[in-house]
Chains A and B, each alone.
Chain A
Amino acid sequence: MRNTWMTVAFAAAAAIPAFGSDVGTVKVSNGSVAIERAGARVAAPVGTELRTSDVIVTGADGSAGITFSDNSLVSVGPDSRFAIDKYAFDTTTYAGEFQGTLSKGRLAAVSGKMVKQSPESMKIRTPSAIMGVRGTEFVVQVDEPAPARP
């Protein structure tokens, strides 16, 4: 009986693979790297586990590299701000969804199993455009908008 309950619990956990659980790991962390989670900002050294809605923030001397559970690789350069808006990945079917926002700075990425399975399941937003990823390696840079003219 206990076994049955265990099975049910595992099945439920597998059906919502990325909600409230870890979606990726900080594998590279140079200089000033922090994450913003639930309103707090904490340093993000190598080994930090990331969740949906975390925001990775780097300083002028900072850069960070993240490996996601579908093997997508994302790095963020100096003076950057990258939010993980949505991340879900089913390790059995490889179906999933990855949405991130680069609001400033630089990003490089190599898409993973999810995009191989369903192209454009990975999207990177910038303040003024959206990018759909069909594969494989790419870079994005966002600059500050020009000051508003009077």
Chain B
Amino acid sequence: MVKLIGALLASALAAGCACGPVSPAFFAVLPAPDGHIGTIVVERGFQHRVIHTAYGSERLGEDGALQGGEVTQAEVQARFGTTLQALPAPPATFTLYFLEDSDELTPESKAELDRIFAEIKRRPLPDIVVIGHTDTVGTNEYNDRRSLARAERMREMLVELGIPPERVQARGRGERELLVPTDDEVREPRNRRVEINVR
């Protein structure tokens, strides 16, 4: 508890101290690639500003005052171009489907594999977790084994395509995580799948 109060005091001092020189700062909200516009809150001492518009900004001046405004996309590029370019690719999930009772992909999924692989190859250091799933036909034990076999098969394919083996993990979830909820012993092609999670 004492520690917590200490931390609060320290942060209050850092934010509110009117002595010492002020390091000017600039904050802006950018629209996400999906169009979503987020919100940030900027605080200095008793000043409290909320930015919730695309390209909305706050500038902290040398006098310690916050000033709201807007920037253009071109200004953001000029100032933050190099920085934004260094943002890692966002994590992505791909789903591929399997033939019944098999660890062989459906023809449609086979065709899609190249596109997914190209997407993974764009990342210099991918961390990949492949999770296999089954439909509800068969015993739990059988489906646990089948789902892991699907994930392992997928892992082999990724490694054959050139992904370093140590970057890919394979796991099976059996019939525990159905994409389409069904009763037991129901054939459902959409549940026979692997998810490829890439970071």
Contact = CB atoms under 8 A, between A and B. Distances in A.
Interface of A: 25, 27-28, 30, 46-47, 63-67, 71, 73-78, 103-104, 106-111, 119-120, 125-148
A63 B83 CA distance: 6
B36 A136 contact: yes
- If over half of A's interface residues share one DSSP class (helix, strand or loop), that class is named, otherwise mixed; here it is strand
Interface string B86-98: 1111110000000
B27 A131 contact: yes
A65 B60 contact: no
Interface string B23-54: 11111111110001111111110000000000
A102 B26 CA distance: 11
Given A27-B88, A66-B88, A110-B32, A131 B41 contact: yes
Contact of B14 (A47, A125, A139): A125
Interface of B: 11, 14-15, 20-32, 36-44, 60, 62, 64, 66, 76, 79-80, 82-91, 123-125, 127, 199
B199 A71 contact: yes
A46 B125 contact: yes
Given A27-B124, A64-B86, A108-B80, A141 B25 contact: yes
Contacts of A147: 21
Q: Which 3 A-B pairs have the closest CB atoms?
A: A77-B83, A145-B21, A135-B38
B39 A134 contact: yes
B82 A128 contact: no
B30 A139 contact: yes
B88 A75 contact: yes
A144 B23 contact: yes
B40 A108 contact: no
A130 B87 contact: no
Contact of A129 (B44, B84, B123): B44
B18 to A, nearest CB: 10
A131 B125 CA distance: 30
14 contacts: A63-B86, A66-B88, A78-B82, A107-B83, A108-B83, A111-B38, A128-B15, A129-B60, A130-B11, A130-B15, A131-B40, A136-B38, A138-B30, A143-B25
* Most chain A CB inside 10 Å of its own CB: which residue of B24, B28, B41, B87: B87
A142 B23 contact: yes
Contacts of B25: 126-129, 140-143
A71 B11 contact: no
B41 A139 contact: no
B83 A106 contact: yes
A106 B87 contact: no
A138 B26 CA distance: 11
Contact of B23 (A78, A128, A138): A128
Contacts of A143: 23-26
Contact of B43 (A65, A119, A131): A131
A27 B32 CA distance: 20
